[in-house]
Structure 1
Amino acid sequence: MTVDDRFTQSFQERQQNRPLEPRSEIITGPVSDWATDFSHAEPEWAADPYPIQDELRQRCPIAHTERFGGAWLPTRYEDVAAIAYDTERFSSRAIIVSNVRPPLELAPVGGTPPISSDPPFHHDARKLLLPAFTKTAVSRQEQVTREFCHSLIDSFEGQDVVDAARDYAQHIPMRVIADMLGFPPEDGPQFREFVENALEGINSPPEERILRVEKLFDYLLTQIRDHVDNPRDDLTTYLINAELYGQKLEPNHVAGTMALLLIAGIDTTWSAIGASLWHLAKTPADRERLVAEPALLPTAMEELLRAYGPVTMARLVKEDMHWNGVDMKADDWILLSFPAANRDPEQFDRADEVVIDRQVNRHAAFGLGIHRCVGSHLARMELRVALEVWLERIPNFGLADPAAVTWATGQVRGPRTLPLRIG
């Protein structure tokens, strides 16, 4: 059997097996009480989740909902950290809360290793990726990323108002990840569709979600076939040829990791860049200080990540248990809100303020525990370069219409429309 045949057969089996099973009906609509009926898929959460999280932290630090078949929302740093580090009682085989759950037999690998993997498999799957995301490897991407940022700003010539989310932030990680995986850069619009399907369509009918997943994996199979026929020095060829335990990676492992890098690698950084520009646009004092003191940017960047960290992950409860005062059932979701942890006043002084020269800042924007973001060096480089180039080229900017700013719903939160006045 050729490599191409092996991948084709595996993808056909994947579609026949459809490894997603419904557990609950679609539940949407206004929240009656955030402590007992929360939903991160509602517009008011997307618009501003922080007051909700702050109120819950005081009143009901581990909230519950029957939506999505049952889910819990811890809001204290210590609870979020405890769950993130506890791989004995909480599984990572599904990290996006929705109305479907992958079956138990997918563990310990999961659909998108290593983020969906449990120990001991997780350690070895993660180790495979580390060489591509070291500081040294990432540094080789910096110059081309900087040039691309300049080219995006060049395209703004003659415009007084630009959408910094649509026309700047989203394109930077799309280009970087496409280059790393060896995908055509012109496929960017498809990448956006894949991201939105995976992360924002969580209340879509289960069959519709399955079809969207299949569309993504069909695209990945096309890219894999091209790389089999035309090997080159990129992450896709590396994964196709990589070995684990003396054997080539299973096709679903290769495709799942590619899906992870494509979706998580784009949306998280897109959101972080957009949120940072939003803050600087509405906070002239911080913007002016960074323009005057560019050396402060790395410190300010960490604070922007703390204050507006985009990523919330999920876990599944392994067995019925009583945990920190609540009764959790097997296969209940845990919505692991790193943004809530980052604003816990027990962990951070002036937790609800953005202090761009904050010196002690052990934030959780890149996660905690064994699943801490493998691409954190890459994300930091993209965010830093994107802000450096913007502030150099457009030192004076502000919100064109604060009411026109919209935010993504779901577990990765960032601006989706961000009109800024630059002229």
Structure 2
Amino acid sequence: MTVDDRFSQDFREARGDEPYGTRNEIITGPVSDWATDFSHVEPEWAADPYPIQDDLRQRCPIAHTGRFGGGWLPTRYEDVAAIAYDTERFSSRSIIMSNFRPPRELAPVGGTPPISSDPPFHHDARKLLLPAFTKSAVAKREAATRAFCHELIDALEGQEVVDAAADYAQHIPMRVISDMLGFPPEDGPRFREFIENALEGVNLPPEERIKRMGQLFDYLLAQIRDHVDHPRDDLTTYLINAELYGRKLAPDHVAGTMALLLIAGIDTTWSAIGASLWHLARTPADRERLVAEPGLLPTAMEELLRVYAPVTMARLVKEDMRWNGVDMKADDWVLLSFPAANRDPAQFERAGEVVIDRQVNRHVAFGLGIHRCVGSHLARMELRVALEVWLQRIPAFTLADPSAVTWAAGQVRGPRTLPLRLG
């Protein structure tokens, strides 16, 4: 069998042509009580989830909802950490809480390995990716990333008001990830559509969601075929040729990992860059200090990651059980809110404040346990370079209209529109 045959055969499951999993009633609308009816896709959550999380941490630290077929939301650091480390009782086979669940048979691989994989498969799938994300591998991408940031700011010249999310933040990880995977850089607008479908379209009817995900996997299959015909030194060719347990990776494994890198690798960093610029635009003292003390940026960056951590991950309960005082049912969702954990006053002094020179900062913006972000070195490099170049080139900026800032709804939160006035 040729490599092309291998990636044409049995690709139906990877593309998502066939509906699978448990379907649930679609439930949206105002929340009656966040302790018993939470919904992470509502506008007020997207706009400002932190007061909601702080309230829950005090009166109901493990909130419940009947939406999406039932789920739980721990808001204390210790609970989030305990679940993140507990792979015996919680499965990662689906990490996006939505209105349908992948079947249990999808474990231990999941649809987007290794983030959707359970032990013992997870360890070996993750190990395949490590060489591409070491500090030394990431360092080789810094010069190109810096040059691209300068190009983006060059294009803003002469404008009084710019959208820092759409015109700057989103493009940086799009270019970095497309270069790593060997995708055409001009396909960036398509990546944004794929991201919004995957992360913000969780309440669509299952048939529509599967159709939209199918568009992503059709794109990935086209890229795989192009790489089969024209191999080059990039991550896609590496995955096509990689072996696990003495065999080439299954087509759905290759496509799922590519989907993970494309979506998670872009949206999380885009969100972190945007949130950091939002904070600096509305906090002149912090912005002016970083302009005056550029050496403080790495420390400040970690604090911005803590306070504005973009990522919440989901788990599925494996079996009925009583856990920390609540009765969890098999296949209940659990939302691991790393943003809520990062603002727990039991873990951090002045937890709700941004302290840009905070010295002890063991935040969990990149997750905890076996699924801690494999691309954390890459994300940190992109965030640092993006902020360094922006502050160097545009040292003075403010929010043009605070009410015009919009935030993504769902499990990755960051500014989607960010109008800044320059100068």
TM band (smaller chain) = over 0.9
DSSP 3-state at the match of 1:35:
helix
Which residue matches 2:33?
33
Shift of 1:14: 4.3
Q: Is the 8 A contact 2:50 2:340 kept in 1?
A: yes
Which residue matches 1:329?
329
DSSP 3-state at the match of 1:302:
helix
Which residue matches 1:166?
166
For the residues of structure 1 that align with 2:386 and 2:18, how far apart are their CA atoms?
39
- Give CA deviations for 1:336-365 in whole Å, capped at 9, x if unaligned: 000000000000000000000000000000
TM-score (norm 1): 0.99
Deviates more, 1:332-341 or 1:10-19: 10-19
Shift of 1:17: 6.5
Which residue matches 1:349?
349
Shift of 1:168: 0.1
Shift of 1:181: 0.1
Which residue matches 2:312?
312
Which residue matches 1:278?
278
Q: Is the 8 A contact 1:343 1:351 kept in 2?
A: yes
Q: Is the 8 A contact 1:20 1:210 kept in 2?
A: no
Structure 2 unmatched ranges of 5 or more = none
TM-score (norm 2): 0.99
- Give CA deviations for 1:53-107 in whole Å, capped at 9, x if unaligned: 0000000000000000000000000000000000000000000000010001100
Q: Is the 8 A contact 1:19 1:102 kept in 2?
A: no
For the residues of structure 2 that align with 1:64 and 1:89, how far apart are their CA atoms?
18
Residue 388 of structure 2 corresponds to residue 388 of structure 1: yes
For the residues of structure 2 that align with 1:53 and 1:367, how far apart are their CA atoms?
18
For the residues of structure 2 that align with 1:121 and 1:16, how far apart are their CA atoms?
22
Which residue matches 1:113?
113
AA aligned opposite 2:44: E
- Give CA deviations for 1:35-70 in whole Å, capped at 9, x if unaligned: 000000000000000000000000000000000000
Which residue matches 1:376?
376
For the residues of structure 1 that align with 2:230 and 2:280, how far apart are their CA atoms?
44
- Give CA deviations for 1:291-349 in whole Å, capped at 9, x if unaligned: 00000000000000000000000000000000000000000000000000000000000
For the residues of structure 1 that align with 2:300 and 2:8, how far apart are their CA atoms?
47
Which residue matches 1:253?
253
Which residue matches 1:80?
80
For the residues of structure 2 that align with 1:16 and 1:416, how far apart are their CA atoms?
27
AA aligned opposite 1:304: L
Which residue matches 1:59?
59
DSSP 3-state at the match of 2:35:
coil
Which residue matches 2:198?
198
For the residues of structure 1 that align with 2:59 and 2:185, how far apart are their CA atoms?
48
Which residue matches 1:145?
145
CA 1:114–1:227: 2 relative to 1, 3 Å: same
DSSP 3-state at the match of 2:162:
strand
Which residue matches 1:408?
408
Which residue matches 2:229?
229
Shift of 1:277: 0.1
Shift of 1:6: 1.3
- 5 Å-filtered alignment, 1:281-296, equals 281-296=281-296
For the residues of structure 1 that align with 2:225 and 2:176, how far apart are their CA atoms?
21
Q: Is the 8 A contact 2:14 2:251 kept in 1?
A: no
AA aligned opposite 1:414: G
CA 1:38–1:13: 2 relative to 1, 3 Å: closer
For the residues of structure 2 that align with 1:101 and 1:391, how far apart are their CA atoms?
44
For the residues of structure 2 that align with 1:142 and 1:326, how far apart are their CA atoms?
47
AA aligned opposite 2:320: D
- 5 Å-filtered alignment, 1:182-221, equals 182-221=182-221
Which residue matches 2:298?
298
- Give CA deviations for 1:395-415 in whole Å, capped at 9, x if unaligned: 000000000000000000000
DSSP 3-state at the match of 2:195:
helix
AA aligned opposite 1:143: A
- Give CA deviations for 1:136-174 in whole Å, capped at 9, x if unaligned: 000000000000000000001110000000000000000
Shift of 1:247: 0.7
For the residues of structure 1 that align with 2:6 and 2:212, how far apart are their CA atoms?
23
Shift of 1:15: 5.1
Shift of 1:3: 1.1
AA aligned opposite 1:32: S
For the residues of structure 1 that align with 2:185 and 2:142, how far apart are their CA atoms?
17
For the residues of structure 1 that align with 2:379 and 2:46, how far apart are their CA atoms?
22
AA aligned opposite 2:366: F
Q: Is the 8 A contact 1:320 1:327 kept in 2?
A: yes
For the residues of structure 2 that align with 1:14 and 1:45, how far apart are their CA atoms?
32
For the residues of structure 2 that align with 1:81 and 1:349, how far apart are their CA atoms?
18
Shift of 1:184: 0.2
DSSP 3-state at the match of 1:179:
helix
DSSP 3-state at the match of 1:420:
strand
What root-mean-square deviation, in Å, do the aligned CA atoms of Structure 1 and Structure 2 show?
Answer: 0.9
DSSP 3-state at the match of 1:272:
helix
For the residues of structure 1 that align with 2:151 and 2:16, how far apart are their CA atoms?
44
CA 1:327–1:351: 2 relative to 1, 3 Å: same
Shift of 1:8: 1.1
For the residues of structure 1 that align with 2:19 and 2:385, how far apart are their CA atoms?
39
Q: Is the 8 A contact 2:13 2:252 kept in 1?
A: no
DSSP 3-state at the match of 2:145:
helix
Which residue matches 2:361?
361
For the residues of structure 1 that align with 2:162 and 2:13, how far apart are their CA atoms?
45
CA 1:378–1:13: 2 relative to 1, 3 Å: closer
